[in-house]
Structure 1
Amino acid sequence: MTANPVEAFVHDDAVSVRRATEFTYLPDSAVPGETDLTLFSIRVAWRGPGSWAVLWLGYCWGPEGWGYEPGSPERDEEYLIAHRFTIQEAEAIALREVNNITINGRTWIEDRREREARRSASEK
């Protein structure tokens, strides 16, 4: 096993990434830097050899969906088995869930449309 957690990560349509320990997945059509985008983004973070967590704000993906991730001392083996994934599994979860995140009852696309409508109305 290599010391680099992502060195063996190969993806048909990905640029070669070396030494990355975290990936951020943005909702469809989002552009980095847009207002409130961090609220709707999912991170996939390396947690050890072959072990990746899917994170959103202070939550971690598990068997029942999003749940609070306890501090390190409180994460037992059972928790780690249920909440850690291979990079391929973690990426699939992030890609599947990133467009389903809601804040105040709205997805990223709905939130963007609302902001654009308010901006247009204020310009009239």
Structure 2
Amino acid sequence: MTEQPEPTVQATSYEVSLLPEGDVNRLVFTLKVEYRGDGRWAVVRHRQCVNAAGEWSWESVPSEREDEWLAAHRFDLETALKLAKEHAPKVMVNGMTALSVYRRTHPAP
């Protein structure tokens, strides 16, 4: 009988949001940091990725991504999480930022 190898477990996605867990608005104001292979991560929202300069662009299908685009939109995990945290307050839905929604729904005591 051949021994079965141990399954691998790997985290491949993080949610980053200014709004706390349980907030009804959290889902639409959330960014994702997703693993893209080779130790590289992307900050994504609605099929767009952010680059180090803070610019968003559409993420094409893998076969159409050029090396230059990949270099600008892929990061180590620490950098990707930092970028996502920087952009989380700025996520905009229906003309409102995550920060304005947070302040509106979680007033200071």
The question of a shared fold, defined as TM-score above 0.5 by the shorter chain, is answered with yes
Q: Into which bin does the TM-score normalised by the smaller protein fall?
A: 0.7 to 0.9
Aligned mate of 2:57, from 67, 71, 81: 67
Pick the structure with more strand per residue. Answer: 2
Give, in whole Å, the separation in 1 of the partners of 2:99 and 2:68: 36
Structure 2 counterpart of 1:104: 94
Relative to structure 2, which stretch is displaced further, 65-74 or 84-93?
65-74
Aligned mate of 1:22, from 2, 9, 13: 13
Using the TM superposition, give the Cα deviation of residue 20 of structure 1 relative to its aligned residue in structure 2, in angstroms: 0.8
- Conserved? CA contact 1:39–1:57, under 8 Å: no
Q: Which residue identity lines up with residue 31 of structure 2 in the other structure? A: I
1:99 aligned counterpart, secondary structure: helix
Aligned mate of 1:90, from 54, 70, 80: 80
Q: Which residue identity lines up with residue 73 of structure 2 in the other structure? A: H
Structure 2, unpaired ranges of 5+: 1-7
In the comparison of the two structures, how many residue pairs are matched?
97
Structure 2 counterpart of 1:42: 31
2:56 aligned counterpart, secondary structure: strand
CA RMSD of aligned residues (A): 2.1
